[in-house]
Amino acid sequence: MTTNNELGNYIKKFRGKHSIREAASIANISHSYWSDLERGYSRASGKPINPSVDTITKVADTLYEFNKDNFSRNDFLVDLLEFIGIPGDVNNQELYDNDEYTLIYSDNTDSTLKAERFNYPINDIKYHLMDDHFNTKFFNGIPLNHEELLNLKSLIETYLRSYTRIPLNAYEKITSLAGRKSVKEIERIYNVLRVAYLNKNHITSFDSFIQNALIEETGIDNIDSKKAYEIAESLFEE
């Protein structure tokens, strides 16, 4: 691992004629912090600067903007990551052997849920948007910078929140019929309504499903079934 002064000298060299304020503005970090990066230590504390991978990625994107005619984004990213102790020849096989996560999906020909192992770096979009710092991302042949990747992540999160809006709103509505019921009971009712909403196109008898699910499947005898039915029905109408 090289020193922070070497990191700072590298950044300063490729910043070239551009001002610190311009570079910091493009990277979306404070100009004082950029200055500290080039100095190698914090003026406020006197301690060495230890930038995060996220900061290094922003700096790499900025240096690439200043030198795109002669270098690739990956050139800067690999160099900068090595300065903070992440080697460019990182063992990719170790990443691809990761089986920590479980993928749950619904088969088109089978309504039951299946669980299979999946590989986080390969399968997870979030990894490719935020955590893979060695490979330039493209869309239709156009390279994407750090800010564009953040915007894509935000758009996906917004879409997913919108897609699950009705099931999530159900929780607030259900609390109106909860009375003195426990949180666990409320959550059980919520889960029934959520399943009902997500599968509403496959439920042949809405009345039967709601009556049975809310009363029998939850095992809650003192539920206000009429109120619960009204809430469930309103969810389907949204």
CA distance linking residue 201 with residue 198, whole number of Å: 8
Q: Which of 86-90, 153-157, 222-226 reaches the highest mean pLDDT?
A: 153-157
Q: What percent of the chain shows pLDDT beyond 70?
A: 47
The token duo for 235 is 């969810």
Mean pLDDT of the chain: 69
- Please report where in the chains the tokens 């230590």 appear, as a residue: 41
At 146, the pLDDT band (50, 70, 90 cuts) reads confident
> Tens of pLDDT along 205-219?
666 666 666 655 555
Per-residue model confidence as pLDDT tens digits over 35-86: 999 998 888 888 888 888 888 888 988 999 999 888 887 788 888 888 887 6
- Could you tell me which residues come within 8 angstroms of residue 125 by beta carbon, excluding any fewer than 6 positions away? 156
Domain boundaries, the chain: 4-83, 92-163, 165-237
**What pLDDT does residue 218 have?**
56
- pLDDT score at 89: 45
pLDDT given for residue 8 in this prediction: 92
DSSP string, 102-148: EEEEE-TT--SEEEEEE-HHHH-HHIIIII--SS-EEETTEEE-HHH
In this prediction, residue 92 carries a pLDDT of 40
Which of these ranges, 17-21, 27-31, 129-133, 153-157, has the smallest mean pLDDT? 129-133
E strands in the chain: 101-106, 113-118, 137-139, 142-144
Residue type, position 69, single letter: D
Q: Provide the 3-class DSSP secondary structure of residue 41.
A: strand
Q: Which pTM was predicted?
A: 0.43
- Architecture of the 4-83 domain: Orthogonal Bundle (1.10)
- Grade residue 17 by pLDDT with cuts at 50, 70 and 90: very high
**CA of 222: how far to CAs of 181, 226, 231, in Å?**
9, 11, 16
Most confident of the following: 122-126, 153-157, 193-197? 153-157
